[in-house]
Amino acid sequence: MAATAVQHLSGHEAVAARYHDVDPVYAETRDLRLLGFMFFLISDCILFSSFIFAYIYLRVSAPTWPPIVDGHQLPWFDTSFAALNSIVLFGSGVTMHFALENWKQLNKQKFYRWLIATIVLGIGFLLGQAHEYSVVGISWAGSTMGASFFTLTGMHGFHVFIGVCYLIILGIQVSRGVYTDSKYFGLTAGTLYWHFVDVIWVALFSLFYLW
C-alpha cells in the first residue's frame, strides 16, 4: 500500500497497513523469525516446568513444610516484600506494552520514555531480589526448600537480567535507525520476551509465597 494511502488511515488500521506494507522477503523472514522465537519461548517454558514439577514433588513428599533442618523449622518467605517486588515487575510489563504501542503509533519520544521506564523497573526488580537473597535466612545447600528457591528464582532473575540487556540493545538500535514504522520485529520479540518473564514470575510467586 502506498504511503499516501496509509496516511488517510488511523489507529489500528494504519498500524496493520504499515505492518503489511513490506517487501515479500522481509514478510517471510519475519514470520519465520517469529515462529522460531515462539519455539524458543516454548522450550524455556519446558525448562521452567521441569524444575517447577520437581519442586512440587519435593514439597508434597516432605512430611513438613517448611522442612526441619538441625531441629529447627525453616522460616516462610516474606510474602509482603515479594508482593511489592512483583508489582515492580508486573508494572514493567505494562510499560513495555505501552512502549511497543507508541512505536506502532510512530511516537518515538513516548516509546523511549516507556522503554526506559521498563528498564528501570527491571533493574529495580533485580535489586529487590538481591536484597531478598541477603535476608531470606536459608541457604542453597541447606535444604530442598533453599535449593528449589534459589534455583528457580535465580534462573528467572537471570532471564530478567538478559531481558534488561536486550531492552538496552533495542534502545541503542532504535537510536541508530535499525527499525522503521513497518519493520520492527526486534521490538515485538523484546515485548514478547518481557511478557514471558512476567508470566513465569506469576507461577513462581504462587508456588513460593502463596502456597
Residues in Cβ contact with 19 at an 8 Å cutoff, skipping those fewer than 6 apart: 182
Residues in Cβ contact with 166 at an 8 Å cutoff, skipping those fewer than 6 apart: 190, 193
Q: In this predicted structure, what is the pLDDT of residue 9?
A: 55
Nearest partner of 134 among 92, 78, 84, judged by Cα: 78
Residue-wise pLDDT for 118-150, tens only, equals: 999 999 999 999 999 999 988 888 789 999 999
- Averaged pLDDT for residues 55-65: 94
Q: In this predicted structure, what is the pLDDT of residue 207?
A: 96
Q: In this predicted structure, what is the pLDDT of residue 171?
A: 97
Q: What is the tally of structural domains in the chain?
A: 1
CATH number of the domain encompassing residue 172: 1.20.120.80
Rounded CA separation 182/180 (Å): 5
For 7, the domain range is 3-210
Radius of gyration of the chain (CA): 21
Residue-wise pLDDT for 71-100, tens only, equals: 889 999 999 999 999 999 999 999 999 999
Rounded CA separation 56/94 (Å): 30
Helix, strand or coil, per DSSP, at residue 137: coil
